[in-house]
């Protein structure tokens, strides 16, 4: 019979285990009163430190949560900027496609103007124009002359939705442009703004507007006939309303009365101009304000509730080949800082003066963009907001150099900025 033997763990460990002296002393020696007090003090210190860390962590966590809650959902006060689609052409059926894409963001604008006669009698007249929605919460671009003197403004969307509470929040002091805001609007259809600096003659375009004030969102097509045009525009036969508009886009797309303030659109559906005027002496000649020239002021109104326009503070002559020859200038495009009066071409204490610009300097580029076919200096500066710093390329005494200038701001005295 085979015996079974049970071997325990203790049996395998023949040598007795030794305890270290330190272990024995800590286990056996009694603590003195002084040691007890020291240990208690040490425990209290550790507890206070842990509580302090916990309090700091809780504060950081609550602060982050509060910040995160304040952010909320992404704001719909944003402008939709497209890529440069000016090289595209319309294809068969694409005009209808682009028109249906853009039209929901194009609105009819109805205004009422109340006047008081010599004997105190009151009369009310109405007018109509066009505008385009640029943010989902109801910012609208249109012409200044569309809302000039209006006591009330009404906006009608492409689907017939009507808004009666509309404010004029900004007027461009240099251009026929007005900025409107629909009160308490949300989730509205918007247009996409393109880049007017790269448009060219022969480029295909469509114009959308409230033709004759009674045919909402009429579509006409044509081409860009020219750029950099200057005209003197007036509201009907009212000579007092005449103003000089420069750097306009010329088009043969039909722009009728009531189309003012509507979009001029390229073949990808991007707005490249604001339709503003037609020639009374010829057919097929209409004009639009380059959209890039209003972007800075639009962003300033949206971001800062301010209708100030970017301001440099110069008197300049737009250089053409004839001007270059007359003044013996080394370039055929740019802005020549020159005044033929007794005062300086640099306004005192202006951003231009602070940047170091001098009389007879020639500004050739604004922010790296060459003055000329892309626009004159006023249009190029129109892309910036007051407070922006922009790099100017200049020629002084025949030598090229660059200057950084921080733009100031000024506004039209008629503007009533409010939300």
CB-neighbour burial class of residue 92 (10 A; exposed 0-12, middle 13-18, buried 19+): exposed
Both 179 and 271 in one domain: the answer is yes
260 is catalytic: yes
| Mean predicted confidence (pLDDT) in 292-301 | 96
* Same-domain status, 281 and 147: yes
The domain boundary, picked from 238, 268, 303, lies at 303
Which residues form the domain of 134? 94-116+123-303
Residue 348 pLDDT > 50: yes
In a domain, 78, yes or no: no
399: in domain: yes
Q: Same domain for 294 and 314?
A: no
Which CATH number characterizes residue 295's domain? 2.40.10.120
* Active-site residue, selected from the candidate residues 145, 247, 292, 316: 145
pLDDT at 297: 96
The answer to whether residue 80 is domain-embedded is: no
Neighbours of 199 (CB within 10 A): 27
Distance CA 309, CA 328 (A): 33
Active site residue 176: yes
Q: Is the pTM of this model over 0.75?
A: yes
User: Residue 381 domain-assigned?
Assistant: yes
Using a pLDDT cut of 90, give the percent of the chain over it. Answer: 61
pLDDT of 163 higher than 60? yes
Specify the pLDDT at position 167: 96
Q: Is residue 358 classed exposed, middle or buried when 0-12, 13-18 and 19+ CB atoms within 10 A define those classes?
A: middle
Catalytic residue among 176, 195, 247, 361: 176
* Same domain (yes/no): 288, 145: yes
Q: Are residues 292 and 313 in the same domain?
A: no
Any residues with CB less than 8 A from the CB of 400 and at least 6 apart, and which? 364, 393, 394
Q: Which of 108, 260, 292, 378 is catalytic?
A: 260
Annotated catalytic residue 304: no
Decide the pairing of beta strands 399-406 and 215-235: unpaired
Q: What is the dihedral of CA 87, 134, 101, 188, to 10 degrees?
A: 160
Per-residue tokens: 72: 């909320």
Number of domains in the chain: 2
pLDDT at 237 (0 to 100): 52
- For the chain, what percentages of helix, strand and coil (3-state, to nearest 5) are there? 25, 35, 40
pLDDT at site 49: 43
Pairing of strands 270-278, 192-193: parallel
- The chain-wide mean pLDDT, for the chain, equals 82
Among the listed residues 399, 85, 60, 398, the one whose alpha carbon sits nearest the alpha carbon of residue 264: 85
Q: What are the pLDDT digits (tens) for 175-210? A: 999 999 999 999 999 999 999 999 999 999 999 998
pLDDT category at 243 given cuts 50, 70, 90 is confident
């Amino acid at each position: 019979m085979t015996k079974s033997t049970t071997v325990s763990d203790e049996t395998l460990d023949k040598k007795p285990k030794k305890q270290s002296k330190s272990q024995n002393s800590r286990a056996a020696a009694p603590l003195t009163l002084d040691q007890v007090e020291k240990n208690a003090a040490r425990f209290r210190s550790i507890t206070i430190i842990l509580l302090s860390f916990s309090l700091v962590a809780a504060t950081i966590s609550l602060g982050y949560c509060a910040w995160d809650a304040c952010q909320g959902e992404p704001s719909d006060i944003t402008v939709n900027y497209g890529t440069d689609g000016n090289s595209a052409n319309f294809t068969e059926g694409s005009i209808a496609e682009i028109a249906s894409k853009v039209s929901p963001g194009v609105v009819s604008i109805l205004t009422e103007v109340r006047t008081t006669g010599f004997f105190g009698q009151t009369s009310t007249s109405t007018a109509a124009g066009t505008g385009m929605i640029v943010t989902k919460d109801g910012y609208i671009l249109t012409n200044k002359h569309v809302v000039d003197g209006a006591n009330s403004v009404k906006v009608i969307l492409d689907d017939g939705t009507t808004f009666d509470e509309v404010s004029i929040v900004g007027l461009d002091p240099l251009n026929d442009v007005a900025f409107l805001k629909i009160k308490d609007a949300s989730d509205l259809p918007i247009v996409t703004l393109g880049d007017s600096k790269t448009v060219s003659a022969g480029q295909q375009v469509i114009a959308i507007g409230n033709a004759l004030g009674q045919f909402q969102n009429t579509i006409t097509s044509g081409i860009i006939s020219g750029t950099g045009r200057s005209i003197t525009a007036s509201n009907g036969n009212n000579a007092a309303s005449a103003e000089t508009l420069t750097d306009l886009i010329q088009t043969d797309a039909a722009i009728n009365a009531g189309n003012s303030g509507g979009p001029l659109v390229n073949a990808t559906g991007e707005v490249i101009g604001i339709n503003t005027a037609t020639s009374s002496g010829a057919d097929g000649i209409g004009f639009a304000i380059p959209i890039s020239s209003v972007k800075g002021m639009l962003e300033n109104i949206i971001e800062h509730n301010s209708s100030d326009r970017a301001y440099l503070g110069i008197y300049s002559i737009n250089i053409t080949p004839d001007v270059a020859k007359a003044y013996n200038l080394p370039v055929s495009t740019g802005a020549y800082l020159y005044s033929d009066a007794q005062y300086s071409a640099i306004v005192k204490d202006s951003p231009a003066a602070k940047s170091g610009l001098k009389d007879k300097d020639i500004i050739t580029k604004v922010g790296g963009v060459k003055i000329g076919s892309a626009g004159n200096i006023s249009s190029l500066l129109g892309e910036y907001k007051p407070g922006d710093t922009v790099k100017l390329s200049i020629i002084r005494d025949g030598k090229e150099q660059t200057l950084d200038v921080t733009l100031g701001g000024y506004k039209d005295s008629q503007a009533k900025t409010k939300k």
